Amino acid sequence: MSELRTLLVIAGEFPPLKTIGRIRTVKFVDQLRQHGWRSVVITLQPNGTEPNYDPSLMAEITDGVEVIRLPLRDIEAEIAMAVKRLLGRKPTPAVAREGVGFTAGVKASAPVSLQSQGGLMDRAHAFTRWVLRNFVHVPDDYRPWAKAVVDAARPLCAEGRIDAIYTTLPPFASMFAGHALRKETGIPWIVDYRDLWFGDVLREWVPGWRKKLEFHIEKRLLREADVVITVSEPKTAYMQRLHPDIKARWETLTNGYDTELYGDRVRTKPFGDTIEFVYTGRLFKNRRGHAFAEALGRIHRSDPQLAARARVRILGGVEASIRKRYDSILEQFGIAHLYDFAGDVSYGEAMNAQVNCDYLLLIVDTGETSDGVIPGKLFEYVSVRRPIFALCDPGATQQIIERARLGKAVAAESVDDCEAMLREWLARPVPEKVDSDDAYLAQFDRKAITARFARLLDDVVAVSRKGRA
């Protein structure tokens, strides 16, 4: 195709923030160029103190890509600073917001307990945070950012530079920007659900009244969409049942794997008696993995010699409540020495750990719509080609792992099932290679998925221009 077209990409997750969600977007931006599409990306302006900030990831952005970065207002911090100024108190230095670019806006679970706070200021701060998270940040705290996106994108659209608009979710407030620009300009708008909004397993904390409100907001915004994409067939089917009257075109574009992702990285650790399980990523909300720890604890009680072969490394942040439960399990069974919580590490360190492990541990979200969850982490693991021990509910992820001969899956929260499989894996020799079904996996090659996306963009633009002719 000789005509070069431009895609406006609205993405809250993009390098240098080390989130799994960034990979889908940055790869689309890079690989779409081979199909006649360049991109202008509007994304977050990090402050460099975020726990998932990794400046080395800037190398993932292809030279020549136009990136517009807009800051994310921290209204909670602004209110606190204003109150302290009124009271004549010295403002405290800003601290990194946990989850910025990762789970911001959807991280607020139960209301903060006001009883657990110290003085009056602490209680007032806790109450303000609770009000903001439950009543103001709907659906998340990117609403002011989305408004700034519209202001930044409006002149680009007016100049005729943009052929299509693409918003990738979460953050879900990005939809407000895409919706506003579609209404103002008539430019085709594609909505990409990496995670569901209404009904997502990580948003089960949302109270009933607010779920109803957010459902109607989502429905209203989707009326302007030209295409709605999800990352699995079960999610697409769920969305179609949820919004049967939406006139948009429905598509499924899974996440994918990159054959060249790990470059020249090779295993440097010899296989031995110790068997290392590695999980790289964050643990929060419904993504916990406690069943694995309990299963290992049971084995330690009945067969300590077998359990002693295991080492479990968790590379990534762990939500406080989840870590507390881990600490309790590890103390109860006396297996703390078998676990290593390394915290957030660089992307390069995580990749090296994946290449050198014996088994990759995959922990998938649980919940009502978990059958359609195919985490981007799965396809990152596919690129490594190490055996996968997966904790996931029956559904799409289990089907891919077992159909592709990548490993095995057990129900995410079944300690019995996990124990049975863990005993088997600890007792057998560690496979040095994975006999994967590469022909089956070819459909998940990111280059093939990007080619499908490009054809979809071409079709949408052609239909739009025909309608305006």
pLDDT at 111 over 70: no
pLDDT score of 299: 98
- pLDDT for 368: 76
What average pLDDT does this structure show over 294-309?
98
Do 464 and 398 belong together in one domain?
Answer: no
Q: Are 172 and 24 contained in the same domain? A: yes
Lowest mean pLDDT among 21-35, 146-160, 203-217, 375-389: 203-217
Same domain, 40 and 181: yes
pLDDT at 96: 42
Is 104 a domain residue?
no
Strand-by-strand arrangement of the 359-363 sheet: 339-341, 310-315, 275-280, 359-363, 388-391, 407-410
My answer on whether 201 and 296 are in the same domain is: no
Shared-domain flag, residues 196 and 232: yes
For the cut 90, the answer to whether the pLDDT of residue 309 exceeds it is yes
C-alpha separations of 124 from 70, 131, 265, 279 in Å: 29, 11, 51, 38
Average pLDDT over residues 427-437: 95
- Mark whether 316 and 407 lie in a shared domain: yes
Q: What is the pLDDT, as a whole number, of residue 112? A: 38
* Report for 199-203, 236-240, 344-348: range of highest mean pLDDT: 236-240
Q: Give the three-class secondary structure for 373.
A: coil
pLDDT in tens, 38-78: 999 999 999 888 888 999 999 999 999 999 999 987 766 66
Q: Is 156 a member of any domain? A: yes
User: Are 362 and 305 members of one domain?
Assistant: yes
Indicate whether 289 and 178 sit together in one domain: no
Co-location of 282 and 172 in the same domain = no
pLDDT score, position 104: 39
Name which residue leads in pLDDT, 451 or 47.
451
Judgement on whether residues 369 and 390 belong to the same structural domain of the protein = yes
Same domain, yes or no, for 224 and 243?
A: yes
Q: What is the average per-residue pLDDT within 289-309?
A: 98
Run of H or E including 146? helix 143-158
Q: What is the per-residue DSSP string for 376-441?
A: HHHHHHHHHT--EEEE--SSHHHHHHHHTTSEEEE-TT-HHHHHHHHHHHHHSPPPSS----HHHH
Report the pLDDT averaged over residues 133-153: 87
Examine residue 420 and state whether it is found in any structural domain, yes or no: yes
Considering the domain architecture, whether residues 415 and 330 belong to the same structural domain is answered as: yes
> Domain containing 12 — which CATH number?
3.40.50.2000
- Do 368 and 199 meet the contact criterion of CB atoms below 8 Å apart? yes
| pLDDT above 60 for 293 | yes
The residues facing 166 across adjacent strands are 9, 190
The total domain count for the chain is: 2
pLDDT of 386: 96
Domain boundaries, position 66 = 5-72+141-256+446-468
- Residue 345 CA to residue 54 CA, distance in Å, equals 9
pLDDT band, residue 94 (cuts 50/70/90): very low
CA angle 461, 463, 466 (to 5 degrees): 105
Write down the pLDDT at residue 106: 35
